[in-house]
Structure 1
Amino acid sequence: MTPCTAREICAAVGGTLLQDSGAPVTGVTTDSRAVQPGQLFIPLVGERFDGHAYIGKALEDGAAGCLTAREPETLLPGKLYIQVADTRLALKALASWYRDKFDLPVVQITGSAGKTTTKEMIASVLSQRYNTLRTEGNFNNDIGAPLTLLRLMPEHQAAVIETGMNHFGEIRYLGEMVRPDIAVITNVGDAHIENLGNTRQGILRAKCEIFENLTPEGVAVLNGDDELLNTVTLPQTILRCGVGDGCGVRVTDIDDRGLEGVACTVTIEGEHYRLTTSAPGRYMIYPMAMAAAIGRRLGLTGEEIAAGVAAYTTVGSRMHLIRLPGERLVIDDCYNANPQSMAEGLRMLAASPAQHRVAVLGDMGELGQLTAQAHRDMGALTRRLGLTAVAVGEKMHALTETDPQAQWFATVEEAMPAIRQLFTPGTAVLVKASHAMHFESIVKELEK
């Protein structure tokens, strides 16, 4: 963050300056445990916590000052205090004001699945020419997005911001800060469907909030093979990416190398780009094509685009391949799950050359009326693909209705002995579930 004065920040958030330290603010944090000197501490309030209780500690640890929605009993000398009505809304206002200080191309990404993968792929490509700010990990909510924007510095030449949601209005809220020049929707699936009217049309409507803050001369980059996204019309330019005949960014000559990666040709207005990534999964053609389209739009050469795609690496527990002695393989994809991403993971496991293939699957959350059928569908798929299945969690019990050979356990702890027994030499194991299942503990156990 570039240095900002107390009066600038006070005006940005519409607050009341209780005390000025005289020192500039050089960063923002909402975590009192990670305060750095010169930062502004913003205490957030939730159902089970109130950051105001940690203002004193944050200031003692070096914070330059704080926002507060509570009137302080005392003011520490030499510290900045600004009183606001709501600290969360003040964080948004501050990020929105700060975003206005920068004139650079900003890409905003949303979608039911593949947001982080697409964000990393686009950032990898743009970084071949531009100093690119990107969302760290999946820091994509109403706290993470503004904190990302507040990391912008004069040396940045582009920004790629991931935005997630599980209710109506959230993408609009984030877009009001991000104000993208390029808006990306990866796909429309069933994730969070129970919060969005239990229909994919509801999910589409929520995702399309991204266009409300797209600049008039901006560009929408969409999955051109997504039936619902193909109903979207806008006054701005739309680039549809995929294998379908109606895609202006057309993917052909796909070489799916299984766990060794994917290669394809992307054609845009008669120009051909042969792209290769070591990341597994045929679905990688979409982030590859989207990154190529955006890179070309922002002036990158074909060589730069190809180099950026090749430089992409997976982030966190997203199709992370862990190779272990005895030709054993863990496919760590346990960050999150929905029916589409779980089915893709199962098909990838089935294509593995391993002697034995085991799918360790956990509950998929927020599917509403689709819950039981979605889990039964996974059982039908594991059976059809000839996979050994271990189902974990209350919802995943439905898998056994369509795959009677599957083993079911209520908890990870109960399942671990069976999983260890199956993880013999020559075995590939897919570990996949919604984040709330904490399947990262299974991966850690298998790595021992």
Structure 2
Amino acid sequence: MRNMTLKNIAGACGGDLHMSEGRKEDLREASCVVIDSRKIEPGGVFIATKGEKADGHDFIDQVVQKGALGVVCERAPKDCSVPYILVEDSFQALKNIAEFYRKQLCVKVVGITGSVGKTSTKEFIASVLSTGYRVLKTSGNFNNEIGLPLTVLSIRQEHEIAVLEMGISDFGEMHRLSKIARPDICVITNIGQSHLEKLGSREGIFKAKSEIFDFMNPDGYVFVNGDDNLLCHIKKKGNHAPIHFGLNSENEIFASNVVDRGLFGSQAVIHANLEVFPVEIPLPGAHMVLNALAAAGVGMLLGLTSQNVKEGIAKVEAVRGRSNVLSLSDCTLIDDCYNANPGSMGAALDLLSMASGRKVAILGDMFELGEGKEQLHGDVGIYAVEKKTDVLICTGLLSRYMYEQAVCTKKRRGAGEKTEIYYFAKRDEMIRELPGLLKAGDTILVKASHGMAFEKVVEFLLSRDGNS
């Protein structure tokens, strides 16, 4: 890792470097920087952090035995045979070290944020860019003030572009993430209704997401969803005007002739850089067309051809828990359980409505919605009935509002409304009753906020199919 000597690491995080008496300064560059002792490599640096379940300081002896170059820690280890850097806050040290390392790199960074679609947009952009570059992308949900620094620290000399997902829930977080990532290209997917509890309104969300520009390369570029009524008003950032993508032909990058193929994705014609070319988008949902447009824009800005873009879009794969359509022996499962907000719930119900046969929505609580959480849950219940969902299963304390409004909507619509509506206060209670509620041939949507742990619902459904 370029310039990542113990002395430089100590300077970056403001720590005190301690070495055994008579030991000379080690000028070697670290092979890795990790907070998980299981991932240490010979010559690597281990940052001991205090987590909810374990304290990294308890594993210092193990990483030393595995050949660690040094340790960053909050309290001095006893009889440590390798140098250690003493800091006040290991998590802050992690961020400071990642910020220093980012400055040593020549890699271009694409930073992606937005209320909905960050992960899938990341996958589209990384897939397109990988047709012409060596790309590193955010793994899993490593998009916060712990995950992003770790992702930056995983960049290596062979990488030419890093595609980084950047997620927040409060003001100031994106400012700190931007300081670490220092993006050359910023992509904002949309401004929805997630994290309203702390950010207050869509305008507050817009303000918080816009902090991504705080440490952007002044000669960098910004791509925003031009169909979003807040993003479309973003003014010039740095030396360039923002580039808009969307379904509206007034955007610089737009799609026409969109053909919805249901759960099998869609076809579209992309207009970008005075080129017009057809693409096959393998992931379902209208929002995936927007993701493909963002990827086309970034790819062509970085010199890729329309053929590269077509190939990259065509090979993109779904991420577990993110609109992942699975064909099981007796049903189709839409695994969208990773997270939820009102906008993504609506998009998921739109996707479910494309299925043939009986449509089952297993929905749970949405968190961090603030004072309007009851109405927002109720709105989801209303929409589920209006989309002619055959079976709606609501689970969680807040989802009672979803259930109640769904029942009211069904009554208001009269005898012709056939939606079956069920409510369970607890997830495990609902799982026990599922076998009696499902039928062969169903298409089943599973969606809730991450804290509901609806991956257990997905695991149950897969275990019935023998795929767990």
Shorter-chain TM-score: which interval?
over 0.9
Task: Identify the match of residue 207 of structure 2 among 205, 208, 215.
Answer: 205
Distance 1:423 1:63 in 2: 52
Residue in 1 aligned with 2:387? 385
Task: Identify the match of residue 31 of structure 1 among 31, 36, 42.
Answer: 36
Distance 1:252 1:370 in 2: 36
- SS in structure 2 at match of 1:403: helix
How many pairs were matched up? 443
Residue in 2 aligned with 1:394? 397
Deviation, 1:143, is 1.3
Residue in 1 aligned with 2:353? 350
Deviation, 1:2, is 4.8
Distance 1:305 1:217 in 2: 24
Runs ≥4 in structure 1, deviation > 6 angstroms? none
One-letter code aligned to 1:386: K
One-letter code aligned to 1:237: A
CA RMSD of the aligned region, Å?
A: 1.7
Q: Are residues 1:140 and 2:143 paired?
A: yes
Q: Are residues 1:82 and 2:85 paired?
A: yes
Distance 1:416 1:90 in 2: 42
- SS in structure 2 at match of 1:391: strand
Could you report, residue by residue, the CA deviation over 1:17-72 in whole angstroms, capped at 9, with x for unpaired residues? 10167354210111224433322111223577643343333333443321122233
- SS in structure 1 at match of 2:383: helix
- SS in structure 1 at match of 2:461: helix
Contact 2:281–2:289, Cα closer than 8 Å, also in 1: no
Residue in 1 aligned with 2:294? 290
Task: Identify the match of residue 235 of structure 2 among 221, 233, 251.
Answer: 233
Residue in 2 aligned with 1:71? 76
Could you report, residue by residue, the CA deviation over 1:212-271 in whole angstroms, capped at 9, with x for unpaired residues? 111111111101111111222124321111022431112211111110101111212421
- Aligned-pair identity (%): 39
One-letter code aligned to 1:233: K
Residues 1:347 and 1:287: Cα distance change in structure 2 (over 3 Å): same
Contact 1:218–1:237, Cα closer than 8 Å, also in 2: no
Deviation, 1:318, is 0.8
TM-score under structure 1 length normalisation = 0.95
Contact 1:260–1:278, Cα closer than 8 Å, also in 2: yes
Task: Identify the match of residue 456 of structure 2 among 422, 441, 447.
Answer: 441
Residue in 2 aligned with 1:279? 283
Could you report, residue by residue, the CA deviation over 1:298-326 in whole angstroms, capped at 9, with x for unpaired residues? 00011111100111001121111121123
Deviation, 1:15, is 2.1
- SS in structure 2 at match of 1:237: coil
Residue in 2 aligned with 1:60? 65
One-letter code aligned to 1:69: E
Residues 1:212 and 1:4: Cα distance change in structure 2 (over 3 Å): closer
Distance 2:424 2:64 in 1: 48
Residue in 2 aligned with 1:410? 425
Could you report, residue by residue, the CA deviation over 1:164-205 in whole angstroms, capped at 9, with x for unpaired residues? 100111111011011111001111111111011x21111000
- SS in structure 2 at match of 1:96: helix
TM-score under structure 2 length normalisation = 0.91
Residue in 2 aligned with 1:190? 193
Residue in 1 aligned with 2:115? 112
Distance 1:91 1:383 in 2: 47
Residue in 1 aligned with 2:334? 331
- SS in structure 2 at match of 1:336: coil
Distance 2:91 2:446 in 1: 35
One-letter code aligned to 2:261: R
- SS in structure 2 at match of 1:67: strand
Deviation, 1:146, is 1.1
Distance 2:397 2:122 in 1: 33
Distance 2:33 2:3 in 1: 11
